[in-house]
Structure 1
Amino acid sequence: MSELGYTLKVFRQIGMLKPVLPHRLIGAGLQLVKWGPGLPSGVNAAAKRFPNQLAIIDDAGEITWTELAEQINQFTQALKDRGIEAGDSVAVLSRNHRYMIIALIAVMQAGGRVLLLNTMASRSQLGELAKREGAKLVILDQEFLEVGADVEDDSIILCWADDDAPDRYPTVAGLLTGQPTKAHPKPARHGQIIIFTSGTTGLPKGAKREEPADLKPLIAFFGAIPYRGNSTVVLAAPLFHSWGLINFGFGLSTAPTYVLRRRFSAEQVLRDIDQHKAKVLVVVPLMMQRLVDADPVMVEKTDVSSLEVTASSGSALAGDLANRFMDLFTDSVYNFYGATETGWVTIASPKDLREAPGTAGRPPFRTFVKILDADGREVPQGETGVIHVGNDMPFGGYTDGNTKAFADGLMNTGDLGFFDENGRLFVSGRDDDMIISGGENVFPRELEDALIEHPDISDVVVTGVEDPAFGQALAAYVVVKDGASLTEQDLVAYAKEHVARFAVPRRTMFLDELPRNPTGKVMKRELPEFE
């Protein structure tokens, strides 16, 4: 199929070619011309095309696209009244709800830089990041006031405020009052989003996420993950993370109805899919695991047959999780492999995951992936090397001026992997996670995938440790299911049956829970050390 034919096919799928009253279509087109591809044009175009459709259902109620666009305009003016100009930085520390969306897009309409902070940020991290990035304002949910204790009071705006919120802080909702709803002119400088890397091993780095210059990234995304126009999307993944943000941002072109909740609950997700007949669910793998482990009675009494797409990313899918999810719910899992810096690398469809469990999938439209050796040469099919990628999602570098390494014109992902004979990518693990044990190259991922399938294990992470006999060896941190009993000897015996001898753990520690961030990644720096 030609590129034009493929583009038209995707546009029909997501509803961009759906018949709309001429004046509404012209109005939407003018928003794209004015703002260019990005969040402001997406919201304003949706408001022009489907003004009375629900835009967001959240813990505060319901809001239409017109109401959302008007409130964003009101808050944009409120920010300007507080001195925010093009190029200024505003930190946002918030869970998923309408006021986060309003704040995020209003800063961009003012031409500002949005610093999207992780909801697990510490007081020292917030203070240091806000200072380092020059934040003029910090917009945060009331629950994070302690985290923002080092920020001047007059620089704080409450994003989500409860009834007992301190009077000394203005709120996003309160600042809307009395402000004009009229559209704002295009700022002198294009708005920008800075996403902070997960910081699993150190202080998070600010990654500049450039808005795409055209619609090619959108075509690649929806060509591989088949959203449909005007669908209801339960967006459970955190919006501060690139996975939640890309689904919100790209999803705007489909004019959906988003269901947002401030906290994840498997039971609430099931109720939302059932009640709103949601076609799309956006999650991280840990949320998929929680849904698989949900109360069987709740699973039985809720109808999730409307679910066509379960879009997952953020960390590796453990073991056979995708197929267990699809066996229990619907054949809907699309697993996205990529990173904040790279955008997407590959996307696995339900068919891929059924036929080759554990695969990261195939490169989507206009995405180029090569496996290179240490000298930058492409390795033969089936051999492991460093994964490199090129696509239409520009990476603007880190805010400290550094960027990712490139080879053969492609970005180094830092991951090792290989392609099978069917062109499917398999990720072996991080380049710096590989250990050499007794002369063998060993990846923690193989042991993790084996152990998570043990009937008595609910969570596990594997790391490398120094070993006097083998140089390095694998160590397993294990969470045992409630009511189960498991010894180190039991675990080693199980591992010997499922992995090569050099991948059997030589150290084991049992924990009540693993220190995971909201996207499901294990915060390895917080794991206890072995004596």
Structure 2
Amino acid sequence: MVEKRLWHDRYPEDIPLTMEYDKCPLYQYLIDAAHQYGEKKALYFMGKEITYKELYEESKKIANYLQSIGIRKGDRVAIFLPNTPQAVISYYGILMAGAIAVPTNPLYKERELIFQMNDSQARAIICLDILFPRVNSVRNHTPLEHVIVTGIKDYLPFPKNVIYPFIQKREYNMVVKVEPGNDTHVWKKIMEQSVADYLESSIDPMEDLALLQYTGGTTGNPKGVMLTHYNLSSNVQMCETWLSGSAKKDKQDSVVGILPFFHVYGMTAVMNFAIKKAAKIILIPKFDAGDLLKVIDKQKPNLFPGAPTIYIGLLNHPDIEKYDLSSIEACISGSAPLPIEIQERFERITGGKLVEGYGLTESSPVTHANFVYAERINGSIGVPWPDTDAKIVQMSSDGLEELPMGEIGEIAVKGPQIMKGYWNNEDETANSLKDGWLLTGDLGYVDERGYFYVVDRKKDMIIAGGFNIYPREIEEVLYEHEAIQETVVAGIPDAYRGETVKAYIVLKEGTSLTEEELNEYAREHLASYKVPRIYEFRDELPKTAVGKILRRKLVDEEKQKQEATSV
């Protein structure tokens, strides 16, 4: 239990300030769901449904097979898959084998793949057949000893499984044939021949790692975040408690699985959360606004964790009015700031609740959120979750100094979900963990009610002409313009002011807006020193797989342009 804090008085009666957490391996939730709700649907994938009993049996087969090829407790096994049944089966199978899962972005190119496999010292990888050539090309440059290969068609219903190879050839211009051998293994044969049994490892949930989750690496090489079984299970239990008011009393909960499971947010808030609740996960391997609207209309999910870009994409689809989205009851938005205008529009259309949350890879990931069915403050990331403490700090000669209410400083958090540290990186661990507190790198403040606000990333703050300028504040203003679909603001080098403010804009389809009109609008709503000096209109903005706009990539582009012109 954390000490008495301002936000504790805001908690509704149905959410406790402190909880008793399960001290069990994370995969115990799958075992429990299979034993208690074996015939319930666990996964829906492009027309095919898998029960909890089937999911458990196939996860045991993977665990058994991994052990049979020499994977032991503590070994790292990479998952190089989009949101498919195999991703869920692999994840729990790896944990059952006593190994550590290493989620890997399927968009990674050879250089990124080599770095992550070498840094984690992964001994095996599970990948899609269309990714197999990429894995094969890097094998000799990594410690990888085994590759398990599967395909989308392995879990498609008839006749989609027959048609899919032709679609794959057309879209990816490849037909991959995998020959099994001593170090190459075919998923389908494993499922046909492997035994649904495994040697259970002795897991200490408090100390043993379940996951090496790599940070995005937008500034330098990614870091492997060490998350224990207890880190992850405690955060899942907090999530379940926070959403307790949205539980369906008469039928099974159903969760939209659009957030990628190789990202910690999708892994916790969708996959692990759904398994804990024995809910059905609607697996969606890639985002297409039209396809997602159809799936929601037909499958009637009630829970929809997402990211702002996903909600923005849906809201701006020209046919949104044709689909019934009224099944949606609750959504927690994460990974990036949620514009208020998007929140309000989404709630009007669905009738459900959309609230902003906050977290980091290093915190499994969630630490804060607005209440779904109680008081919430638009523009705030909400309050800390049960057993989670937070404060606004600055470094002083005596260590961390807590700042008074309303003052801007760095957000620090503490709780059972906070990482063990960075893999093989003691210096970075020491820089981020101070006296049990995780320094988030985000600037913010707390108000008199205990609600927290993120002003910006510490590294994204713009200093122009001596003024501290926070991009998020400018972005909120720009998002209110009726013609703007997406925007990001960045500080770019300026010989006179040090940095200057530049706004990148994506317009809604069918709208027009000139730089002069936008500048006039900005001057009406912002102090003159905050008004962007440069506007650039684009068709799209660079994003991570989870939909976070890559501000750093745009800044790097600007630096490269300036260097090229100065030569």
TM-score class normalised by the smaller sequence: 0.7 to 0.9
Q: Is the 8 A contact 1:207 1:341 kept in 2?
A: yes
Structure 1: gaps of 5 or more residues: 12-31
State how far apart, in whole Å, the 1-side matches of 2:102 and 2:133 are: 19
Compared CA separation, residues 491 and 351, structure 1 to 2 (3 A): farther
**Which residue of structure 2 aligns with residue 223 of structure 1?**
241
The equivalent of 1:151 in structure 2 is 139
Q: SS of the counterpart of 1:392?
A: coil
Other-structure match for 1:206? 224
Structure 1 residue matching 2:401: 3-state secondary structure: coil
1:398 is matched with: 422
Summarize the Cα distance change of 1:352–1:338 in structure 2 as closer, same or farther, 3 Å threshold: farther
Is contact 1:228–1:254 with CA below 8 Å preserved after alignment? no
Does structure 2 retain, via aligned residues, the 8 Å contact 1:234–1:269?
Answer: no
Aligned to 1:167: 178
Aligned position for 1:317: 338
Determine the C-alpha separation between the residues in 2 that align with 1:129 and 1:178: 31
Cα deviation, 1:297-335, whole Å, max 9, x if unaligned, reads xx3333222211112211121342211211221231132
Selected match of 1:284 from 298, 307, 311: 307
The equivalences for 1:280-429 within 5 A come to: 280-296=303-319, 299-342=320-363, 343-350=365-372, 356-375=377-396, 376-402=400-426, 403=429, 404-407=431-434, 409-429=436-456
CA contact (8 A) 1:315 1:519 kept: no
Q: 1:180 aligns with which of 183, 195, 213?
A: 195
TM-score, length basis structure 2: 0.82
**1:339-398, Cα deviation, whole Å (9 max, x unpaired):** 011332310135679x63211111121111111234232222222111111112130211
Distance of 2:236 and 2:124 partners within structure 1: 31
After superposition, residues 224-243 of structure 1 pair within 5 angstroms as 224-226=242-244, 227-228=246-247, 230-243=252-265
Q: Which amino acid aligns with 1:171?
A: V
Deviates more, 1:468-477 or 1:210-219: 210-219
Q: Alignment partner for residue 453 of structure 1, among 464, 480, 491?
A: 480
Equivalent residue, structure 2, for 1:24: none
Task: Report if the CA contact (8 A) 1:280-1:307 is conserved.
Answer: yes
Q: What percentage of aligned pairs have identical amino acids?
A: 28
Question: Which whole-Å deviations, capped at 9, do the CAs of 1:396-436 have from their partners, x for residues lacking one?
Answer: 21113231534564221111111223322111001121122
Give the Cα–Cα distance (whole angstroms) in 2 for the partners of residues 37 and 496 of structure 1: 56
- Residues 210, 424 of structure 1: CA spacing in aligned structure 2 closer, same or farther, 3 A cutoff? same
**In the aligned structure 1, how far is the partner of 2:521 from the partner of 2:150?**
49
Provide the secondary structure at the position in 1 that maps to 2:284.
coil
> How far does residue 188 in structure 1 lie from its aligned partner after superposition?
6.8
Q: Which amino acid in structure 2 is aligned with residue 150 of structure 1?
A: V
Provide, for residues 114-146 of structure 1, a one-character-per-residue CA deviation record: whole Å limited to 9, x for no partner.
111123322101012112221111211233235
Q: Match of 2:45, as an amino acid?
A: D
- What CA deviation, in whole Å up to 9, does each residue of 1:192-218 have, x standing for no partner? 211111122332211111121796544
* CA–CA distance in structure 2, aligned partners of residues 396 and 408 of structure 1: 13
Could you say which residue in structure 2 is the equivalent of 1:497? Answer: 524
Point out the more displaced range, 155-164 or 381-390: 155-164
Deviates more, 1:489-498 or 1:93-102: 489-498
Secondary structure in structure 1 of the residue aligned to 2:304: strand
The answer for the alignment partner of 2:266 in structure 1 is 244
Q: How does 1:477-492 map to 2 (within 5 A)?
A: 477-492=504-519
Cα shift readout 1:16-70 (whole Å, capped 9, x = no counterpart): xxxxxxxxxxxxxxxx99xx53431111110000111111111361111111111
1:513 is aligned to 540
Match of 1:44 in 2: 31
Of 404-413 and 321-330, more deviation after overlay is shown by 404-413
Residue equivalent to 1:267? 290
Q: How does 1:75-114 map to 2 (within 5 A)?
A: 75-114=62-101
SS of the aligned residue for 1:281 comes to coil
Q: Secondary structure, in 3 states, of the residue corresponding to 1:135?
A: coil
Which residue in 1 is equivalent to 2:160?
none
Report the Cα distance in structure 1 between the residues aligned to 2:315 and 2:419, rounded to whole angstroms. Answer: 35
Q: Write out aligned runs for 1:97-136 (5 A).
A: 97-136=84-123
Code of the aligned partner of 2:191: L
How many residue pairs were aligned?
A: 505
Flag the 1:231–1:369 CA change in 2: closer, same or farther, 3 A: same
> Which residue identity is paired with 2:262?
F
Q: Counterpart of 1:426 in structure 2: which amino acid?
A: Y
Shift of 1:183: 5.2
Contact 2:96 2:201 in 1 (8 A): yes
Residue 352 of structure 1 contacts residue 359 of structure 1 at CA under 8 Å; is this kept in 2?
A: no
Q: Which residue is equivalent to 1:27?
A: none
Deviates more, 1:357-366 or 1:156-165: 156-165
